[in-house]
């Protein structure tokens, strides 16, 4: 069987099913492909976990209660924090119903009276490339899920694979010479020329209130927009020969795969745009 992560055939016994969007980030059974088992495990620990455990991503995870395989209620945890007046180290758990302040020195959750009116200082590590790698991984697998061999044979997916495997500390920059794939990934700024498109995609993401992949074929490219729990986190625009791609019915203008409440929904980009417009009282032309 073909593995899109490796771009090669693998013995079926060495493959398992991969959730294209992890359950912990709002994915669903059915939105899956078969991939090499070891590569799947590596992607899960290196790429998926970096997003699932990201402090900023933990807020929408808490809102949508996406628990994943562990079934643990997600909540933001500021591990590197301290009380401003005393420099006493603490860990702050932003739970849905309350905030717990844990003191590793006292080995207990501090009483509300002990922290009332206090100022806290927290330090967060933000890896600017984690969303790039995750977006590339999702785009690569979702593109193959949606288009199959059309994606395999007509899209320059080797460049998406390079983004998925990007390691800032050891990256061979010469390997990216002549690189044609373009992209945007949070928290990088949006270029002025792309702001209108980005606002449109975020509007659609807010309407969906879900995790999703939106595929939009162009004359010589394939755009793949990745959203997690109502937020656009990355966009990839990859060179492609799309003459034989489907453009009718549920592929009209493009194709959406959305996952919400453990269920997968598929529809055309046109239908998505109409639904979003109608839900917000907007009029859009038929053509």
**194-214 confidence digits (pLDDT tens):** 999 999 999 999 999 999 999
As a whole number, mean pLDDT of residues 259-287 equals 87
Q: How many helices (H) and strands (E) does the chain have?
A: 9, 15
Average of per-residue pLDDT across 153-159: 97
Residue 172 pLDDT > 80, yes or no? no
What would the two tokens of residue 269 be?
A: 């980009």
Is residue 64 within 8 A of residue 260, CB to CB? The reply is: no
Half-sphere exposure of 110 (CA within 13 A, CB side): 21
Q: Rounded distance, CA 133 to CA 165, Å?
A: 7
Percent of the chain with pLDDT over 90: 78
The model's confidence at residue 283, banded by pLDDT at 50, 70 and 90, is low
Give residue 169's pLDDT band: very low, low, confident or very high (50, 70, 90): low
pLDDT tens digit string along 13-61? 999 999 999 999 999 999 999 999 999 999 999 999 999 989 999 999 9
pLDDT of residue 206: 94
| Ramachandran sector of residue 266 (left: φ over 0; alpha: ψ -120 to 50; beta: rest) | beta
Name the token pair of 7.
């771009």
Residue 281 is predicted with a pLDDT of 81
pTM of the predicted protein model: 0.91
Whether pLDDT at 225 is above 70: yes
Q: What is the mean pLDDT of the chain?
A: 92
pLDDT given for residue 287 in this prediction: 57
Average pLDDT of the segment spanning 117-128 = 86
């Amino acid at each position: 069987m073909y593995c899109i992560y490796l771009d090669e055939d693998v013995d079926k016994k060495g493959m398992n099913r991969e959730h294209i969007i992890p359950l912990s980030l709002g994915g669903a059974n059915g939105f899956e492909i078969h991939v090499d088992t070891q590569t799947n495990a590596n992607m899960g620990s290196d790429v998926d976990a970096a997003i699932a455990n990201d402090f900023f991503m933990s807020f929408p995870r808490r809102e949508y209660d996406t628990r994943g395989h562990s079934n643990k209620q997600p909540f933001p945890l500021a591990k590197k924090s301290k009380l401003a007046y005393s420099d006493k180290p603490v860990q702050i758990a932003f739970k849905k119903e309350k905030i717990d302040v844990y003191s590793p020195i006292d080995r207990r959750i501090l009483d509300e009276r002990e922290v009332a009116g206090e100022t806290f200082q927290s330090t967060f590590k933000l890896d600017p490339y984690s969303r790039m790698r995750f977006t590339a991984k999702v785009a690569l697998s979702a593109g193959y899920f949606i288009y199959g061999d059309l994606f395999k044979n007509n899209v320059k997916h080797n460049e998406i694979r390079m983004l998925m495997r990007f390691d800032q500390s050891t990256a061979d920059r010469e390997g990216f010479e002549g690189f044609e794939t373009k992209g945007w990934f949070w928290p990088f700024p949006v270029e002025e020329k792309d702001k209108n498109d980005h606002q449109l995609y975020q509007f659609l993401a807010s309407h969906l209130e879900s995790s999703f992949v939106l595929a939009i074929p162009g004359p010589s490219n394939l755009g793949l927009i990745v959203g997690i729990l109502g937020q656009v986190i990355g966009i990839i625009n990859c060179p492609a020969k799309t003459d034989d791609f489907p453009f009718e019915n549920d592929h009209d203008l493009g194709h959406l795969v959305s996952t919400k409440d453990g269920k997968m929904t598929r529809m055309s980009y046109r239908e998505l745009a109409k639904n979003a417009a109608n839900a917000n009282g907007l009029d859009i032309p038929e053509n």
